[in-house]
Amino acid sequence: MGFFDSIFGGSPNIEKLQKNRDVDGLIKALSHSQTYIREQAAHALGGIKDARSIEPLSQALSDQSSDVQLKAAQSLKQFDGTQITRVLPKVDAILDHASQQQKKEEEAQAKKVAEQKKREEEEQKRKNMEAQQKKPAARITPKKDASDVSRFDIMAIGMYLTTLAEQWWQRQPEGKTSATCDVCSGSVARNTGCLIGSSLYCNDCGKSNLTLNNLNDLKRNPDFYGAGVLRQARELFTSAAFISAMIKSSEEARKIFSSEEFLDYKATHNPEAGSNSQVQSSSDNSVCVKCGRQLVFANDKQFMLWAMSDDSRGNAVAFRCPRCKKHYCSSCMLSTNRTSPCCNSSVMNAV
C-alpha cells in the first residue's frame, strides 16, 4: 500500500475482489468516494451476477455520476427480467439515453471529420488554382501583338484542346473510365475534358480558361495556350471536314459557320481549305430541285446561299437555289420545269 493510501484509508482492489468473487466487498465499494471505484465495482458485480447485488445496484441507478448509473444499469440487465421488475423501466431509460448520447457523439465526430476533409479539399483546390495561374507567366515569353485574333480563335482552340483530350483518352486503357482534373482535382469522365499542355482539365475548368476574356491574352501572345496551338487550332477549325460535320450538327452551328464573319475568318487563316467538301464531287452535275438551275459557285460565300440536304451517309443529294430557298410559290413546288416563272434567267444569273 502506498504512502497516500495509508493516510486516506486506501482504495479497494476491484480486480482482486472480482477474482475472489467477494460480493460484499464490491457492494461496499459502491459507496466509495471515488467515482471510478464505484464505476468499476458496478461493472464487476454484473460479471458475478449474485442476487445480493441487485438492491445495491438498483440504488446505484441514482448515483450522482451518470457513468456509475450506466454501469449499474448494464449490470442489472445481466439478471433475469423477473428479478429486476421494479427497476426495469429506469434501467431501460438509462440505457436508451446512453445509446442516444453515443449516437449524437458519433454523428458529431463524423460531421467534424467531413468538415475537415472539405476544408482540406478546398485548400488543395486553391493551391492548384494558384499554381496553374502561375504556370503561363513562368513558361511563356511575351510576343508581338496579334491583331487578327478573333472570337473564332477561342472557339477553335477549345475544339482543338478537346480533340487533344480525346486522343489522350484513346491512349489510355479501356478499363479507365475517369481521371483527375489537374486544376480542381475533380473527376473527369472518359472522352471528356480538354488537354492544355500536359494538364488534363475537366469541362468546367476548361471553359473558365477559354472565354472571351482570354482574347487579350491571346492577342498579346499567340502561344498563350502553347507553342503552335493557335495555328493548329485554326487549321482544324477551318478544315472542310470539320465545317461539314458542324453544319450538320445543329441549325445554330450552321448559322455560325455560314456567316460572312466566319467565311472571312476562314479565307484569312486557311484559304487553301477550298469550298465545302460535301459538294465538291457533285457540283458539276447538281441542279436546284425546284427550278433546275445548275449548281455553280466560286467560293464559300456563294455556296452558303444554296440550301442543301443530304442522305444518311452525308452525301449531298438535293439543292435549292437562293431564290427557291426563300420563295415557295405553287409553280415551283409542283413543277420541275427549268423555265418556272419564279426562277427566270435573270435570277439564275444573280449569284
Q: Tell me: the pLDDT tens digits for 67-112?
A: 999 998 999 988 887 788 888 899 899 999 999 999 999 999 999 9
Report if residue 34 sits inside a domain. yes
Domain span holding position 52: 3-102
Q: Are 286 and 215 in the same domain?
A: no
User: Is residue 249 in some structural domain?
Assistant: no
Q: Residue 262 has which C-alpha cell?
A: 466566319
**Residue 167 is assigned to a structural domain of this protein:** yes
How many structural domains are present in the chain? 3
- Tell me whether residue 193 is in a domain: yes
pLDDT in the model for residue 278: 40
Q: Closest Cα to residue 322, out of 279, 351, 299, 286?
A: 351
In a domain? residue 259:
no
Residue 256 lies in a domain: no
Secondary structure, 3-state, the chain: CCHHHHHHCCCCCHHHHHHCCCHHHHHHHCCCCCHHHHHHHHHHHHHHCCHHHHHHHHHHCCCCCHHHHHHHHHHHCCCCHHHCCCCHHHHHHHHHHHHHHHHHHHHHHHHHHHHHHHHHHHHHHHHHHHHHHHHHHHHCCCCCCCCCCCHHHHHHHHHHHHHHHHHHHHCCCCCCCEEECCCCCCEEECCCCEEECCEEECHHHHHHCCCHHHHHHHHHCCCCCCCCHHHHHHHHHCCHHHHHHHHHHCHHHHHHHHCHHHHHHHHHHCHHHCCCCCCCCCCCCCEECCCCCECCCCCHHHHCCCEEEECCCCCEEEEECHHHHHCCCHHHHHCCCCCCCCCCHHHHCCC
Q: What is the pLDDT of residue 332?
A: 35
CA 18-23-29 angle, 5° bins: 80
Whether 294 and 340 share a structural domain: yes
223 and 285 in a common domain: no
Listed as ranges, residues in the chain with pLDDT below 70 are 1-10, 135-147, 248-249, 271-351
Q: Are residues 97 and 38 in the same domain?
A: yes
Q: Which of 40, 70, 102 is the last residue of a domain?
A: 102
- Here the CATH number for the domain that contains residue 94 is 1.25.10.10
Single residue among 210, 233, 256 that ends a domain in this structure? 233
Let me know if residue 183 belongs to a domain: yes
Question: Is residue 98 domain-shared with residue 156, that is, in the same domain?
Answer: no
Q: Quick one: pLDDT at residue 144?
A: 42
Residue 129 falls inside a structural domain: no
